[in-house]
A = this chain, B = another copy of it.
Amino acid sequence: MSEIVYNDRTSLNPSTMLSPVPVVMVSCGSMEKPNIITLAWVGTINSEPPMVSISIRKERYSHDLIENSGKFAINLVSEDLVKETDYCGIKSGRDVNKFTHLRLKAIEGNVTGVPMIAQSPVNMECTVKQILRLGTHDMYIASIDAVHVKNELMDKKGSVDLDKAGLVAYSHGEYYRLGKYLGFYGFSVAGPEALKRRWRRS
């Protein structure tokens, strides 16, 4: 630690302060015995091939399910699912069947056979490719093998309009709906025509 002192900021012990982060329901196990765990330590990690990572505490029930099957699904969270999402981050599948208790419907992934959540606006089927033991968490590096999107999020051109889904982010222990639209990728260097054409009108 050097002698540098900041007048306008406070230096804290190292902690997981990245924010906002995603919050998703990860479904796993079998169609006969499906489970759900809510995770925020997840991320996109590669574009081509499309890959994600999820990190899970070793002691969680879903840890061994995913370790053994090598498969899981990521289910995105819309505002109407936030209570179920919180519950699936607190309760253990050892004690409760979360699908039954929360009246969530399990549907089978047509590529991996993994259970997915019918109420979620977007499901992604994933297969584990590599595992890193990092400390409290094991990190599962996975390929994205299929993506399923609710029809109401598909526009006429066959593109996905995720804005309609009312997705939820996680920030420092709290859930927030995505709010004010601030621009599209590239807006800072776009010309007036592109700005006019591409700027989202709500």
Chain A positions near chain B (C-beta within 8 angstroms): 1-6, 8-22, 24, 40-53, 55, 57, 74, 76, 79, 82-84, 86-87, 89-91, 107-111, 113, 118, 122-124, 130, 132, 134-137, 139, 141, 143-151, 154, 160, 162-163, 167-169, 171-189, 200
Copies of this chain present = 2
Q: How far is the CA of A157 from the CA of B94 in the complex (A)?
A: 37
Please indicate the chain B residues that have their CB under 8 angstroms from the CB of A1 in the complex.
Answer: 110-111
Please indicate the chain B residues that have their CB under 8 angstroms from the CB of A147 in the complex.
Answer: 11-15, 17
A182 and B178 in contact (CB under 8 A), knowing A43-B21, A139-B45?
no
* Smallest Cβ-Cβ distance to A120: which chain B residue: B9
In-complex Cβ contact of A17 among B122, B172, B176 (8 A): B122
In this complex, the member of A12, A113, A122, A178 whose beta carbon has the largest number of chain B beta carbons within 10 angstroms is A178
Give 10 nearest A-B pairs by CB, closest first: A179-B179, A43-B43, A4-B110, A86-B188, A46-B134, A175-B182, A176-B178, A162-B172, A177-B180, A87-B188
A137 and B53 in contact (CB under 8 A), knowing A8-B151, A162-B19, A174-B200?
no
Q: Is the CB of A174 within 8 A of B163?
A: yes
Q: How far is the CA of A195 from the CA of B162 in the complex (A)?
A: 31
Please indicate the chain B residues that have their CB under 8 angstroms from the CB of A132 in the complex.
Answer: 45, 130, 141
Q: Whole-angstrom distance from the CB of A133 to the nearest CB of chain B? A: 10
In this complex, the member of A11, A90, A184 whose beta carbon has the largest number of chain B beta carbons within 10 angstroms is A11
Q: How far is the CA of A151 from the CA of B10 in the complex (A)?
A: 6
Q: Is the CB of A171 within 8 A of B163?
A: yes
Q: Whole-angstrom distance from the CB of A179 to the nearest CB of chain B? A: 2
